[in-house]
Structure 1
Amino acid sequence: MKYVIGIDLGTSSVKTMLVDKLGNVVHEASENYPLFHEKSGWCEQRPEDWVTGTVTSLQKLLSGSKVSAEDIEGISFSGQMHGLVLLDANHKVLRNAILWNDTRTTAQCRSIEEALGTKLLGIAKNAALEGFTLPKLLWVKEFEPEVYAKAEVFLLPKDYLRYRMTGHIAQEYSDAAGTLLLDMIGKQWSTEICQAVGIEERICPPIVESHACVGNVTAEFAAQSGLTVNTKVFAGGADNACGAIGSGILSEGRTLCSVGTSGVILAYEENKELDVAGKVHFFNHAKQDAFYAMGVTLAAGYSLQWFHDTFCKELSFPDMLGGLEAAGVGAKGLLFTPYLVGERTPHPDADIRGAFIGMDGSHTRDHFARAVVEGITFSLRESLEILRAAGKTIPSIISIGGGAKNETWLQIQADVFQVEVVRLESEQGPGMGAAMLAAYGCGWFQSLEACADVFLKPAQTYQPISANVEKYNELYRLYQQVYHQTKELSQALGSFR
């Protein structure tokens, strides 16, 4: 039997997954690494930690699976988006990576808008937001000019990891689309954007397709990890694009709800002229010549993690969510807005902060947990409504990540989204998408769709309950008012943080 490995380079950990030709997950391993918050709103990581974490995870994967490294045909990647990795002429890291959830670049976003105006949406298809890579480049150029002057090339996180595995510098389209430097339709770096904002196009790496083979594992990396130099390495994709592949979002009408640290609503799109007016993101898919539209809740799973770590650290996550059903629809009049680190969709606001609204002495921890879950789901519905308003027909939604691990939450999604929600048998998302890119690249299948037919199977469906839908519609309208009524308060309180 031959195998492929999917590597999911996330924000808090790297996960490796060994998959056979039938799509069975034979073994998994993971390794955590730290985040660094030097100042409020800053979030950085050491790229070397990604490499050492991946090496350790691969060692665990191989030893735990008992599979011979010679039988591993290919490896591909899913990676956290937008993070800035700067390399010098010797391809050494110049500074810590600035991550997707770092919000220090508001001023740089405004300067991008001033320099390009409406041309930005026309070329990059996205508005200037703090999470993207270009504002981070401009921040380094302004505040660390000596670092910027030494920069030979920039990479995204998984592309740096792949470089360390192969010695090959490249980026692929789904991650390049999240830099704000790509001419998305022309599929090339935008000279016009680079010139307008003062970024040298020479630091932009070559771009390849997500399923492209970029080399083999080097002898050095093979010796460290236990792999062999015969294993092919494929470019991979952005985590959300790989999550889409790993969930079968490969044709028109297919839509995904994913709850990780952030949360997304993602819809497949082949119409490159889809007009979402910058209200949601529009990116190149990891499937060649396709796109996806996506709305983002910055603190989806992170909101639950914060609630757990702050109020019930002694409980497991299943136990913490065990009272969701009993808490009832609307958590007894308690609302939560998941703006713990600002928000992206539909409110591109780095200053807004979260809130519990409606607390009284009768509320228990279960009510608070349900309010957090419902607040995350309401936020995701806002992205769904933008897609529907743009003309997208969404007959059902595939749910992956944290939101698919609890049956009550899956029913909440069906009720809030007012559509059938589907949970898959193998709920692996981005890691499975990376493995599928490797399987396709190795020639196991003629297309990603053919791979999905073998690898992905639905496990259970959840239908909207009409009585719940009615209640949630009313609660959703109240939820939408909270942002506008707390915006000024959040800004004023910012000086005390």
Structure 2
Amino acid sequence: MNYFIGLDSGGTFMKAGLYDSAGELHGLAKVSASVITEKPGWVERNLDHLWSDACSAINNLLDTTDICPTKIKGISISAQGKGVYLIDKKGDNLRNGILSSDSRSLSIVKQWHQEGLNTEIYPTTKQTLWTGHPVSIMRWLKEHEPDNYKNVGAIFMAHDYLRYRLTGSVHAELTNMSESNFFNAQTSDYDKNLLSMFGIEEMWEALPPIIASDNLAGYITDEAALKTRLAPGTPVYGGLFDVVSTALCSGINADNEKLNYVMGTWSVTSGITDKVTQEEYNFVYGYHAIANQYIVHEASPTSASNYEWFCRYFGDENAFDHDTIAKEVTEVIDEEHDVLFVPFLYGSNQGLGLRSGFYGLQSHHTRGDLVKAVWEGILFCHNLHLNRMKHRFPNTDVLRVTGGPTASDVWMQMLANVTGMKVEIPNVQETGALGAATIAMVGAGDYADVVSAISHFESDVRHFEPQLSKKHYYQKKYARYQKLVTLFKAMEESKDAE
């Protein structure tokens, strides 16, 4: 039996999973991933700490199993997309990595929108413009850190950087780079004209060669082997954008018209298609790990990370027993619940620069009231993306949901009630790690392609049907939530006008 490691670099944890060729999990390890937020809107990560977290996760994984490292035939990485992780011209770390949830480039992106640049680039990139894109961050660096900007040797995203530390090879992986705004969706390559439009044409030489997800990127170096305890020479494959990884493992495809909800740091709604169409709304199209297919998705950093923040600041981790919390939420009477929460702690999906907040709090409200408001606010943000995606995938009637909140039956029933759609929860542990390991299996030749691999993996599915008795309550609550967001927009606009 061959074994493979899938490394999942997320916003909260670094995870490493060991799988056999049948997709069976033989061990899992995770390490908390810290971020640095020294200034408002800044979200960074120390690159040495990122590498150390990866090494720790792999070491801890090997400690949980008696599988000899020489039996591990490949490793690949699934990671958050966007952001930038830079090395200098000597190949050393240049500065902290900047995550996709960073918003320091807000004024630049607002200016680009005012100039109509977002509309101008869309036919070429099939992407929107926002603060977490590499192009936005690189333009900010040019204006605010010119010395660092001049010394950029290579522009990576998270999995590119980790792969570089494992192999010493400089590459950029296709599914992630296809959503960078460096990339021309028509030619499937970088586009110098795009860099000129963003005013960062000096970065042309810093763009790494592009490789596909299952391409061999290099081998574990002797130095990396000492840090990870993996065997020197173990093959390392391209990897993939974590949204793509989750979509693969959720079981959605271009034929079944199901959509994937990812509930994690980001609210993500994804669909798979083999056609790029022109709609009234500019949908984001990225390259899928399956040849000649695209992943279409709506996303914003408005999901479960908002609840994690609530738990962190309103009680220590042990105080938030999730079974107890679920019971407290169910005890709140819907018709008497008038607390609203707007989950824009890390970004907004209804306007640049909008802030988060509760509305309607009074002294009689309980923790159950607050948690219910947080859960509902997160679902309402997801619902905005879903309503847009229904225009692109009008026959959708099932949501395949992945992420930490799927452990809560109460929350998942709320999701079914908010959307009025059937909710399915595939019993797949760690979709990011499994997706990455699957790519390694294909790269190593255990499967001919990703579709063949995924079809061999079996998983049960939990089902939640919408309760029609809750429809009126959530229609009213969602309308009130939207009115509150409109007021938040007015507040932001008045601040900008001052």
Query: Structure 2 length normalisation: TM-score?
Result: 0.94
Matching of residue 335 in structure 1 with residue 337 in structure 2:
no
Which of 368, 371, 379 pairs up with 2:370? Answer: 368
Structure 2 partner of 1:404: 406
Structure 1 partner of 2:66: 66
More deviation in 353-362 or 176-185? Answer: 353-362
Task: Say whether the 8 Å CA contact 2:221–2:233 is kept in structure 1.
Answer: no
CA distance in 1, matches of 2:346, 2:280: 24
* Matched-pair identity in %: 24
CA distance in 2, matches of 1:456, 1:130: 39
Structure 2 partner of 1:171: 172
Matching of residue 255 in structure 1 with residue 259 in structure 2:
yes
Structure 2 partner of 1:267: 271
Query: Structure 1 length normalisation: TM-score?
Result: 0.94
More deviation in 379-388 or 211-220? Answer: 211-220
5+ long unaligned stretches in structure 1: none
More deviation in 136-145 or 261-270? Answer: 261-270
- Equivalenced residue count is 492
CA distance in 2, matches of 1:475, 1:281: 28
Equivalences for residues 193-208 of structure 1 within 5 A: 193-199=194-200, 200=202, 201-208=204-211
Q: List per-residue Cα deviations over 1:177-227 (Å, max 9, x = no partner).
A: 232211123211122211222323211111111111112211221122111
2:98 aligned partner, one-letter code: I
Equivalences for residues 39-438 of structure 1 within 5 A: 39-113=39-113, 114=115, 116=117, 118-199=119-200, 200=202, 201-252=204-255, 253-275=257-279, 277-278=281-282, 280-313=283-316, 314-329=319-334, 332-343=337-348, 345=349, 347-350=350-353, 352-438=354-440
The SS at the match of 1:152 is strand
CA distance in 2, matches of 1:116, 1:491: 21
2:133 aligned partner, one-letter code: F
Q: Would the alpha carbon gap of residues 65 and 388 (structure 1) be closer, same or farther in structure 2, given more than 3 Å must change?
A: same
Structure 1 partner of 2:6: 6
Task: Say whether the 8 Å CA contact 1:209–1:288 is kept in structure 2.
Answer: no
Q: Would the alpha carbon gap of residues 234 and 329 (structure 1) be closer, same or farther in structure 2, given more than 3 Å must change?
A: farther
1:423 aligned partner, one-letter code: I
Q: List per-residue Cα deviations over 1:432-457 (Å, max 9, x = no partner).
A: 11111112222222232222222242
More deviation in 130-139 or 428-437? Answer: 428-437
CA distance in 1, matches of 2:313, 2:143: 37
Structure 1 partner of 2:28: 28
More deviation in 449-458 or 378-387? Answer: 449-458
Deviation for aligned residue 1:319: 3.3
The SS at the match of 1:403 is helix
Matching of residue 462 in structure 1 with residue 464 in structure 2:
yes
1:261 aligned partner, one-letter code: T
Q: List per-residue Cα deviations over 1:338-364 (Å, max 9, x = no partner).
A: 112330x3x1322x1122233334321
Task: Say whether the 8 Å CA contact 1:72–1:231 is kept in structure 2.
Answer: yes
CA distance in 2, matches of 1:323, 1:9: 33
Deviation for aligned residue 1:333: 2.2
Q: List per-residue Cα deviations over 1:256-315 (Å, max 9, x = no partner).
A: 11111222111112212253633x533222333321222223131121012111223222
The SS at the match of 1:58 is helix
CA distance in 1, matches of 2:229, 2:58: 7
CA distance in 2, matches of 1:104, 1:29: 33
CA distance in 2, matches of 1:415, 1:117: 35
Task: Say whether the 8 Å CA contact 1:56–1:225 is kept in structure 2.
Answer: yes
CA distance in 2, matches of 1:439, 1:318: 37
Task: Say whether the 8 Å CA contact 2:254–2:271 is kept in structure 1.
Answer: no
Deviation for aligned residue 1:326: 2.3
More deviation in 307-316 or 58-67? Answer: 307-316
1:262 aligned partner, one-letter code: W
The SS at the match of 2:456 is helix
Deviation for aligned residue 1:376: 0.5
1:364 aligned partner, one-letter code: T
CA distance in 1, matches of 2:64, 2:197: 52
The SS at the match of 2:250 is coil
The SS at the match of 2:22 is coil
CA distance in 1, matches of 2:485, 2:245: 31
Structure 2 partner of 1:446: 448
Deviation for aligned residue 1:175: 1.0
Q: List per-residue Cα deviations over 1:303-338 (Å, max 9, x = no partner).
A: 101211122322234433342222244672222211
1:213 aligned partner, one-letter code: L
The SS at the match of 1:65 is coil
CA distance in 1, matches of 2:322, 2:494: 34
